[in-house]
């Protein structure tokens, strides 16, 4: 499909077969109100594609940065495996609810934002320390609890397993972002700042005013390697300070 988003901020879409209808922005998606019975199936379908994006991004990190430290490459490869398992988990859950692959549109905004970033430290910061850290907050504060209360045991098990994996993805990124800062000095800091700035602008383009924030999951973020100062900074950002 023709790229509508600014090529200064977004890479091209990844390949998708004819089952998928790919949209560029949140407003073009099928956005059911939360109380609609179809909302959960659409959410699971959308999340499956986001997990595909996570696998594709991690695979691209291996391909695009072949000279990265071997230990880091192994951590990225493990993330590929985790994301592949998540894809299967989400698909099983939405098919159980009568949804088939391609029933709803999908977006590839994460892939398009991340693969436009040309540094590994920038990608680890945006994908793992930002997007996946926000995912930890969402799963812990809303999704996992609501699934358990609704008696959706398969979803509670899915999100519990996903949460453990996401904490590990954030943890290894925190370790390696710190190591890359020490190794590469000011160049790494500049790459990181450029990546975060571009990602913030790109995300606003995609989401508009539809961005949803959740309370910071302090204990899980601490387990994932964030410092108390970083956790407080995330809280202040959430509060609009």
Tens digit of pLDDT for each residue in 104-135?
999 999 999 999 999 999 999 999 999 999 88
Q: CA nearest 139: which of 160, 114, 165? A: 160
Q: Which domain holds residue 89?
A: 22-238
Per-residue pLDDT band for 149 (boundaries 50, 70, 90) equals low
For residue 1, pLDDT beyond 60: no
SS3 per residue for 25-52: CHHHCCCCCCCCCCHHHHHHHHHHHHHH
**In-domain check, residue 17:** no
Give the burial class of 157: count Cβ atoms within 10 A of its Cβ; 0-12 exposed, 13-18 middle, 19 or more buried.
middle
Domain with residue 30: its CATH number is: 1.20.1260
Specify if 11 maps to a domain.
no
- Total domains in the chain come to 1
Global model pTM greater than 0.95: no
Asked if residue 2 is part of any domain, the answer here is no
Has residue 8 been placed in a domain?
no
In a domain, 14, yes or no: no
Q: pLDDT tens-digit profile of 25-40? A: 999 999 999 899 999 9
pLDDT of 151 over the 80 cut = no
Residues with Cβ within 8 Å of 19's Cβ and at least 6 positions away in sequence, in order, are 101, 102
Taking the C-alpha atoms of residue 122 and residue 188, their distance in angstroms, rounded to an integer, is 8
Query: Does the structure show a pLDDT above 80 at 147?
Result: no
Rounded Cα distance, 121 and 192, in Å: 6
Range 73-100 average pLDDT: 97
Residue 130 lies in a domain: yes
pLDDT tens digits, 186-229: 999 999 999 999 999 999 999 887 777 788 889 999 999 999 99
């Amino acid at each position: 499909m023709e790229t509508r988003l600014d090529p200064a901020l977004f890479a091209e879409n990844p390949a998708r077969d004819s089952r998928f209808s790919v949209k560029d922005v949140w407003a073009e998606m099928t956005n059911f109100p939360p109380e609609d019975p179809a909302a959960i199936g659409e959410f699971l379908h959308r999340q499956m594609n986001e997990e595909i994006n996570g696998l594709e991004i991690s695979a691209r990190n291996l391909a695009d940065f072949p000279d990265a430290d071997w230990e880091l490459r192994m951590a990225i490869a493990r993330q590929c495996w985790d994301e592949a398992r998540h894809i299967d988990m989400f698909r099983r859950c939405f098919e159980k609810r009568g949804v088939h692959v391609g029933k709803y549109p999908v977006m590839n905004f994460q892939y398009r934002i991340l693969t436009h970033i040309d540094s590994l430290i920038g990608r680890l910061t945006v994908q793992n320390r930002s997007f996946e850290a926000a995912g930890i907050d969402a799963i812990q504060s809303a999704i996992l609890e609501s699934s358990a209360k609704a008696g959706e045991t398969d979803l509670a098990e899915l999100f519990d397993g996903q949460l453990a994996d996401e904490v590990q993805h954030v943890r290894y990124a925190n370790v390696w972002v710190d190591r890359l800062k020490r190794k590469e000095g000011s160049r790494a800091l500049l790459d990181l700042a450029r990546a975060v700035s571009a990602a913030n602008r790109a995300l606003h383009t995609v989401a508009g005013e539809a961005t949803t924030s959740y309370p910071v999951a302090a204990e899980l973020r601490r387990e994932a390697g964030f410092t108390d100062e970083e956790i407080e900074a995330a809280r202040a950002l959430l509060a609009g300070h």
